[in-house]
Structure 1
Amino acid sequence: MTTYCSYTDAELTTLLKDGDRVAYAEIYERYKNLLYINAFKKTGNSDDAQDIIQEVFIMLWAKHKKLVINKNLASFLYTCIHHKVLDLFTHQKIDERHVTKLKDFLLLTSNNTDYNIREKQLALIIEREIAALPEKMREVFVLSRYEGLSQKEIALTMNISEETVKSQVKNALKILRTKLGLFTFLLFLIRF
């Protein structure tokens, strides 16, 4: 009885096509280290190289009845390794793109959230300072800046002169500018 290790690759391939598990095991033992070295040189990663070898040999057994090996067995296996390495690199690039997009999304969401929080804080500060204005001045200011009424409309609504409206708005802006600081004040004016 001859051992499988003395068989040629062509003989082992023929036996493999017939479903011979021992021939399959011999092919694995004969090529696993050489294929690992080849895969490792291409990937630079031991785990990836091991996974590629495993995938090639799983495919070899799964398709053993339909195998078409035009060249010798070694060339066929090296070609399979090459294709698996290319698949790995393609998937890694896709994964990198997804990770990049996720990071960008999280950064954008974080920035938007931070911006929204600061905007709300600023709005609260502004509202508090407006609420601290004298009553009549506050009413004129709110009608002017929030309601968008003209000086004439405010004067009619509050039964005061247009000059008084103009003076009250001017004084309110002066007070707010002083209390809020120039930067905050400019942001407030741009917003409204």
Structure 2
Amino acid sequence: MDLDDFQIEQNLVDSLRKNSPEAFESLFDRYSQRLYHFAFSFLKSGSESEEIVQDVFLKIWENRVSLKSDKSFKSYLFTIAFNAIKKHFNKKMKEDKYKHDLIEWLGQEHPGVESKIEFEKLVEKLDSLIDQFPERRKIIFLKRKKEGRSIDEIATELNISPKTVKNQITEGMKSLKKSFEDDNLSALLFYFLFIS
């Protein structure tokens, strides 16, 4: 970056610190495409890369007052993006871990499950059933069962009582159990994921 570019960037950051939407838009225009390509090089997904860009610029806007105009805005931006990408990967790994664990467990303990496709259909069924929950129940259930969050963490984050969280999880479990009770293998799936 030459001196003129650095000066322009400094001025934009100074204006952004004073709540200028125009400066924010200029910085977005200046860096959003480069940031998108950077995220895409890791994620290989257009929608996920766009999400990272939005998250990064949202964070920039929220923390605009504490930005430092004497430091490289570009370096700061790409550091936030890289951290967001790492966080995205960690979240994805947590969400998918139960599926990988289950494939391994079924392969070792239940040789009758010969097909990964058969297993994936069961997981699809599970995801579909959870997707049909009322919105709040679905959010609570996924935070608890897929992300492994504690009841207290969920209650604090959603600003509801721990009792409400427990009730929603119990109702979700009842609903899934009812849907799965006719299929022995699906019952094993259910047991592994949500009871053991």
In terms of Rg, which structure is larger?
A: 1
Give the structure-1-normalised TM-score: 0.49
